[in-house]
Amino acid sequence: MMRLILIINLLVALWVFYDAQKKGFTLWQSFLWAMGVFFLLIIFLPLYLIVRRRKGGWQTKEVPLSSSAMKVCFYCGRPYGGEPERCPNCGQNLKAF
Ligand SMILES: [Zn+2]
């Protein structure tokens, strides 16, 4: 029975190790997570799943932010939203180019 638990812990730890690297953790961080899961599966596995989901959430949040509607004025360098004819900051024609 103890051996079975050990094998399950090892498999879960290995999964955490590879999955953490895929999720953008460093090799060392992944190793620590794997070790934590291996020795304290009950505590570290739910903890890892929470952190993992949060990390994934950050990544999906960053994608629309970087390609959002906010643009930078070609003339004054200030950001503006939407598709205005003229820059709300400096009044230059934005449709000229
Ligand atoms: Zn401007």
* CA 83 to ligand 1 centroid distance, Å: 13
CA-based R_g, the chain, Å: 23
Residue 26: pLDDT band with limits 50, 70, 90: very high
| The two three-digit tokens of residue 96, written as one number | 């000229």
pLDDT at 53: 86
* CA 24 to ligand 1 centroid distance, Å: 37
Mean pLDDT to the nearest integer, 22-47: 94
pLDDT at 56: 61
pLDDT at 45: 94
Q: Do 18 and 34 form a contact (C-beta atoms < 8 A)?
A: no
pTM: 0.55
* CA 79 to ligand 1 centroid distance, Å: 8
